A = this chain, B = another copy of it.
């Protein structure tokens, strides 16, 4: 129940971020809805297609399309007020990528994949909705050129999960621990401007 609530909050945060990008591009209502939808469920959809877990999740669970439709209507009406929600949305997004990473890892485990592939699936679940959103909006995906780490936080959380399980922690504790590590890593990265090492400095000199 608690996880379900986080799932919905994360979905809402992703959907609203999609609306903002789509409106920035002056898309029409249909375009706004599709971009919002893809941002929210695109990562999980790609994950399900890669492991053959079809029909993909959002087709079997009408809660997602309902929540996203609500988020789109809300955002379009209150778009001017959304800027006051910036901090809340950032928090939902951060909690969302934590949970989505673990949801992806669970699916990987259920498909008998190696830990490294589970971590890849977790990162895809959390981050690739935004990648597809940016492809549709004709931009190079923002997580490929982000100043503060984002996908790397998911990868670190995924690694932590498998380390914690090996230590050995109970899987449920490792699950929560990994989510916390993702959230804290991302929060610290934004607060202190932590980025991946710059590979271009050496060349530029």
Contacts and interface: CB of A to CB of B under 8 A. Distances in A.
A50 interface: yes
Interface residues of A, number: 56
A54 interface: yes
B55 A111 contact: yes
A62 interface: yes
B138 A140 contact: yes
A29 B199 contact: yes
B199 A76 contact: yes
A26 interface: yes
A5 interface: no
Interface of A: 22-23, 25-32, 34-35, 45, 49-52, 54-56, 59-60, 62, 65, 76, 79-80, 111, 113-114, 116-117, 120-121, 131, 135-141, 143-146, 149, 151-152, 195-200, 203
24 contacts: A25-B145, A29-B197, A29-B199, A30-B144, A30-B146, A30-B149, A35-B144, A50-B55, A50-B56, A51-B55, A51-B56, A51-B59, A52-B55, A55-B113, A59-B120, A62-B114, A65-B117, A80-B203, A131-B136, A135-B135, A135-B136, A136-B140, A136-B144, A138-B139
